[in-house]
Chain A
């Protein structure tokens, strides 16, 4: 099928909405739209960050997932306690593939699960005592731990435990950072509020710790890499480029990051923000309190990388600007070779995405570099400002879906028949069984990195490997195929 016109896409939305009861249809209609790049403000065409409808299958997570899983989890030299029953932490343990360096269980703790394992009696009598004991045990068993964060699960807010008091007491006793997070899963409409709560906790409990301390020797080229979670090594691939152009990366948030890197971030000259949604809050705060400007960038695909490197360099002197040009020149040849190899195999293929914070819009450039087109995209938990940014990136007539339901996504895919779908693991097998190539775009389908020039080579290979896999034409039994061929 060729690309659909605006009218056809609009008709498709209406058709898909048909099955809902009237009230639900009216509500869902606000979350689905056809892109018009000329619209200045997304709120005129799409509604976002609203509570999901009861009864539909949503693909969202909870505030705890946003705080523990996304923002805090990757801080490797701290222990993050999943405070409450055991399941929330255990079933998500090590699922996000944030790579880190170090000796797990000795000086880093990324893939381990720590929980206060609430039982009935903790709910009835409160869990503060247990929490204190747990913190003491952690400190005895893992003396190299730099700090502890307490990530509240649902029951904590319901029974009214005072985790702030425990944190203050224990922080004074141990002389280490102990950070309480009120990120109970029932707060807010999605994991997005969890990011915000996590950012606020960093603002209140981490950044001020070195306000008076000026021993850190700064250079004019210090930057912080914010909101890169090092999925499959993403942050490493990004950091390489920044260092090669002459910048000094003081801290990585939070992929492969440490507590002390976070504490030192207020000393940098510029904050580089990759995933706007999950960390814009703290970037805005640092701009206000420490006068550190921030800049959004995009390290997917050579076109966007070159654009971003130049944008970052524009904040510095000629030395860095030359550095950026040098880096672009050096790697452009590599990228051109990748494009020469894969573009002929991928040219003209159509992609539909449905992911989280930045991936519905950032990789679009990388797909375009490979001659592919993104025909539909949407976010699980975006806000208006994300759609403001998306509308400009996308072509006329692209289908946009916010907090799409399982049913809607399936119907859209059935009708649009894209050549590739990129979404999460819950969607993966549905679409593969429909016979549509699929990439898991949250954890890069056990691959990565995808950021930077090195990542682009892997990205291109993975897309080719998935799309042109010989399995896709084996969906029909050979005798049925023969019958079809005869009939034709």
Chain B
């Protein structure tokens, strides 16, 4: 369960950043995009998939969350 930071980059895409693993990837898809649920399964540009416990609302970015590797 790495701790990841979700952030919006300059071109408006969501990025997925794990400092310990030196990983910064853009998110290509996210299961729940809001408004009343946000998170779930995410897929990164390199094809790897993670799971974020869904939040009740769209959070203020950046935000640090725990993610599970799928």
Contact = CB atoms under 8 A, between A and B. Distances in A.
Interface string A110-151: 000000000000000000000000000000000000000000
B17 A284 contact: yes
Contacts of B23: 384
Given A288-B5, A288-B63, A291-B60, A281 B19 contact: yes
B64 interface: yes
Interface string B1-24: 000010100000000010100111
B62 interface: yes
A196 B22 CA distance: 12
B5 A284 contact: yes
A385 B62 contact: no
Interface string A375-400: 00000000111001000000000000
A64 to B, nearest CB: 20
Contacts of A388: 24
A263 interface: no
B62 A49 contact: no
A287 interface: yes
| Size band of the interface chain B makes with A | 10 to 19
Interface in B16-70: 17, 19, 22-24, 46, 60, 62-64
A385 B7 contact: no
B7 A287 contact: yes
B11 to A, nearest CB: 13
Interface string A149-171: 00000000000000000000000
Interface residues of A, number: 12
Nearest to A284: B5
Interface string A254-291: 00000000000000000000000000010010011001
Nearest to A291: B60
Contacts, number: 23
B59 to A, nearest CB: 10
A388 B5 CA distance: 19
A383 B5 contact: no
Contact of B22 (A49, A284, A287): A49
Contacts of B63: 288
Nearest to A287: B62
B7 A196 contact: no
A458 B17 CA distance: 38
Contacts of B60: 291
Contacts of B64: 288
Given A196-B19, A291-B60, A284 B24 contact: no
B62 A288 contact: yes
Contacts of B22: 49, 383-385
A287 to B, nearest CB: 5
A203 to B, nearest CB: 12
A212 B5 CA distance: 25
Nearest to B10: A295
Contacts of A41: 46
Contacts of A196: 19
A49 B23 CA distance: 12
A41 B62 CA distance: 22
A3 B24 CA distance: 34
A52 B23 CA distance: 20
Nearest to A281: B19
Most chain-A Cβ atoms within 10 A of its Cβ — which of B19, B60, B63, B64? B19
Contacts of A384: 22-24
A224 B19 CA distance: 23
B43 to A, nearest CB: 16
A339 to B, nearest CB: 30
A419 B64 CA distance: 47
A41 B25 CA distance: 9
Contacts of A291: 60
A284 B19 CA distance: 10
22 contacts: A41-B46, A49-B22, A196-B19, A281-B19, A284-B5, A284-B7, A284-B17, A284-B62, A287-B7, A287-B62, A288-B5, A288-B62, A288-B63, A288-B64, A291-B60, A383-B22, A384-B22, A384-B23, A384-B24, A385-B22, A385-B24, A388-B24
Given A41-B46, A287-B7, A287-B62, 19 more contacts: A49-B22, A196-B19, A281-B19, A284-B7, A284-B17, A284-B19, A284-B62, A288-B5, A288-B62, A288-B63, A288-B64, A291-B60, A383-B22, A384-B22, A384-B23, A384-B24, A385-B22, A385-B24, A388-B24
The 9 closest A-B pairs by CB, nearest first: A288-B62, A383-B22, A384-B22, A287-B62, A385-B24, A49-B22, A284-B5, A288-B64, A281-B19
